[in-house]
Amino acid sequence: MIQIRGLSKSFVGQDGSVVHALRDVDLDIDENEFLTILGPSGCGKTTLLKAVAGLIPWNDGDILIDGSAVRGPGPERSMVFQNFALLPWATVLDNVGFGLRMRGIGRAERDERARALIEMVGLSGFETKRPGELSGGMQQRVGIARALAVEPRVLLMDEPFGAVDEQTRRLLQEELLSIWERRRMTVVFITHSMEEAVLLGDRVVLMSARPGQIAEIVPVPLPRPRSSDVGAIERSSDYVEVTAYLWDRLRDMHTEHRPSKVAG
């Protein structure tokens, strides 16, 4: 469904040297696939996601969705942000309806659809609250509801659970799985947590830094649906094995980079 071909993006750093945020990235994402992208900070994973979202330009290569080139944001994609990006002056209802409003959908239909999504993410009763009155976990539920409200075929998630505490993160992971199992769509999910990448993904794309490129694509042989018993998944040997493998690979990348850092 999404094809990324030879994608490169570089920029000139503060010291005048050229930084390759992404170099020659090739990636195919299937329809209704849950793809997680894992990598150390600075590996360009967020850059890759923003390019797919159509929010930033790149230097070389193509991104195709159903065969047509990405030139900017589109109605088939929506995004969930790391720091929620909620409008602090707007109520939960208006925040969830924001994407619909941008698409010119009138108040009545907007509110109705927003209410349904608010219920789906478990925030009924909070419609008139403002983001400042909500916990981080609740704010990200609003962010997820807002992204789902526009009924995207591709959901782009940029470390969505990176800014919430561990317990909340686990709850949100389970709920995301459960939502996705009921309502299939293509998900591209950025994370720096190996456990999260394995628990959620059909495949884990492992990226390396400087230059940002794909190191390996690791299939996750865990059964679906997973939301019903996350604990059992986490105790299964496949889960343990894949997580351990990813950790080995990440540690290798780290040691590969250390000498060059000292020399530089």
Partner 1 sequence: MTATAGPRPARRPGLARRVLDANLPYQLLAFAVFAGVWEVYAREWGGLLIPSFTETVEATAELLGSAELWRAMWVSNQALVLGFGIAVLAGVPAGILLGRFRLAERLADVYLNILLVTPMAAIIPLLVMSVGFGLASRVILVTIFSIVMIVVNSRTGVRQVDPALIEMARSFGASERQVWTRVLLPGALPAIMTGIRLGLGRAVTGMVIVELLMVSTALGGLILEYRGLFKAPLLYGTIVIILAEALLLISAARWCERKLTRWAGSA
Residues making contact with partner 1 (CB under 8 A): 53-55, 73-75, 77-79, 81, 83, 85, 87-90, 98-99, 101-103, 130-133, 150
Residue number with CB closer to partner 1 (109 or 133)? 133
Q: Residue 188 forms beta bridges with which residues?
A: 35, 156
Q: Could you tell me the two tokens for 200?
A: 């959620």
The least CB distance from residue 245 to partner 1, in Å, is 33
Q: Which is nearer to partner 1, 147 or 200 (CB)?
A: 147
Q: In the complex, what is the shortest distance from the CB of residue 173 to partner 1, in angstroms, rounded to a whole number?
A: 22
Closest distance to partner 1 from the beta carbon of 121 (Å)? 17
Helix residue ranges, H only, 103-205:
107-120, 136-149, 166-182, 194-200
Tell me which amino acid residue 114 is. A
Smallest gap from Cβ 123 to partner 1, in A, equals 17
Comparing CB distances to partner 1, the nearer of 39 and 152 is 152
Q: Which residue has the tokens 């403002």?
A: 130
- On the 0-12 / 13-18 / 19+ scale of CB atoms within 10 A, 230 is middle
Nearer to partner 1, 57 or 264 (CB): 57
For partner 1, the closer CB: 79 or 188: 79
In the bound complex, what is the minimum distance in angstroms from residue 74's beta carbon to partner 1? 7
Closest by Cα among 188, 196, 200, 84 to 146: 84
The Cα 170–Cα 202 span in angstroms is 18
Choice between 74 and 137, CB closer to partner 1: 74
Which residues, other chains included, contact 213 with Cβ-Cβ below 8 Å and sequence gap of 6+? 22, 23, 24, 25, 44, 207
Least distance in angstroms from the C-beta of 116 to partner 1 = 18
